Homo-oligomer: A and B are copies of this chain.
Amino acid sequence: MQQHDGPLSRLRRGHEELVLDLLRRNGPLSRGELGARCGLSRTTLYDIVGVLVANGAVVVHAPEATRRRRGRPVERLALNPGAGQAIGIDFARRAVHVAAVNVAHEVVGTASHPHGPGLPLAERIGIAERLVAGLAGDSLRLAALSAIGVGVVGPVPSAPGRPAAKTESDDQSATSVAPDADRTVTPDGALPPAVPDREALARELRGLFGVPVLVDNNTRLAALAESVWGTAAGERDVLYLRLSHGVGGGLVVDGGLHRGAHGLSGEFGHITVDPGGRPCECGGTGCLETVASVGAVLEAHRAAGGTAGDIAEVTAAARAGREPAAGVVASAGHHVGTALAAVCNAVGPGVVVIGGELAAAGDALTVPVREALAAGVLPFSRPLLDLRPAALGEVGAALGGIALVLHRSPLLSRYPQAPDSGEDR
């Protein structure tokens, strides 16, 4: 029988979930008290509890001597306060970011370390290891770690012949990635070289930490994080756009990370907004990325006679209303709104979140975005538009790695083969 397949294994996962939830809400319970609350047979309950104890999710409290009554002492079961910890790691282009949550799924720490472009992956993994060890010293017990979620640059398409990973059912299916490709897309349109591919990266980290590793595109993970801990916390349909050196994003659909059939969703940066415009790295023409990336805005600013040296200066000037920065940012914002309108008509998100370095321009960016967006969506969608700046900053994708892991429930992913039947009494 396949794991995660068929009503019986779904049912067993439901049993686990129920037992964990009862312990979460009631505190420690005896097996008898648990049984009275969950409707499972003794045999099934003992079986489920046995697995949860073996997993480390549940601990058995020895009875206190003074509380003993007649017969055998009554053990009490409780959630393991050290279980359920998870780590997120983002291997960004020029930095490694890590974040960790405790069993209550509260963020207990984040850390970042910048590095030069093109650093070999082995060294970046070393940085990640040291950052995690630093967090562990404070509040994280690595022995209780459940899983790691990892963000990488570039698309995470599905491997040939396999469907793309699905958030709910198939997060651990093999997909290949290009974690250190410097560009999302090669000019000839081929997939970037998968060096090392997702499998190798996951294997490496699994070897280091001894827990399951899930990998996804880091911009998509940032989208997920904004919907879990960020500006769109609690929203179930979120469009996240990141205006950085590259332009990309992610969709959260009905509370889960959307990947698309081939793992190629959220490529908002390659929507055509200027058909007669300039060539894009991707091989296309007039893509949003050619007019709304950090590089494009800096170049337009220089071309307009501006003298600022970096994007922080340009966005600050735009915020202050100084030209040519304000005009350059407004033009980028107009194109952003146009591209987003097409996507909003198609997918109808509840919240649109804008992140990346350009978002620092504030209203200088978002007012023209909102105008173009309103002009391009169905009129009765206009009053429903909800545009917000991203809240999580540079550790967003690392947090998203954790969200990916929590959505997938690492405890369950280590669940052994479901037996074909339980015996009643």
Contact = CB atoms under 8 A, between A and B. Distances in A.
Contacts of A270: 345, 377-378
Interface string A13-44: 01101100100000000000001111111111
Given A11-B14, A36-B421, A425-B42, A259 B189 contact: no
A278 interface: no
Contacts of A260: 237, 347-350
Given A42-B425, A282-B378, A341-B272, A258 B267 contact: no
B339 A38 contact: no
Given A268-B346, A272-B342, A40 B42 contact: no
Contacts of A341: 271-272
Q: Which of A41, A45, A375, A380 neighbours the largest number of chain B CB atoms within 10 Å of its CB?
A: A380
Contacts of A264: 348, 378, 380-381, 384
Given A14-B14, A166-B236, A345 B185 contact: no
A107 interface: no
A8 interface: yes
Interface string A262-285: 111111101110000000001110
A175 interface: no
Interface in A25-70: 35-45, 47
Give the number of copies in the complex: 2
A7 B11 contact: no
Given A271-B346, A382-B189, A10 B6 contact: no
A251 interface: yes
Contact of A253 (B21, B163, B253, B425): B253
Contacts of A133: none
Contacts of A384: 261-262, 264
Contacts of A10: 14, 17
Across chains A and B, which 9 residue pairs bring their CB atoms closest together, nearest first?
A260-B348, A189-B379, A39-B422, A261-B350, A265-B348, A237-B261, A39-B44, A35-B424, A41-B41
25 contacts: A7-B14, A8-B18, A11-B11, A11-B17, A36-B423, A36-B424, A38-B422, A39-B41, A39-B422, A40-B44, A42-B425, A185-B380, A189-B379, A190-B379, A237-B261, A260-B348, A261-B348, A261-B350, A264-B380, A264-B381, A264-B384, A265-B347, A270-B345, A270-B378, A347-B347
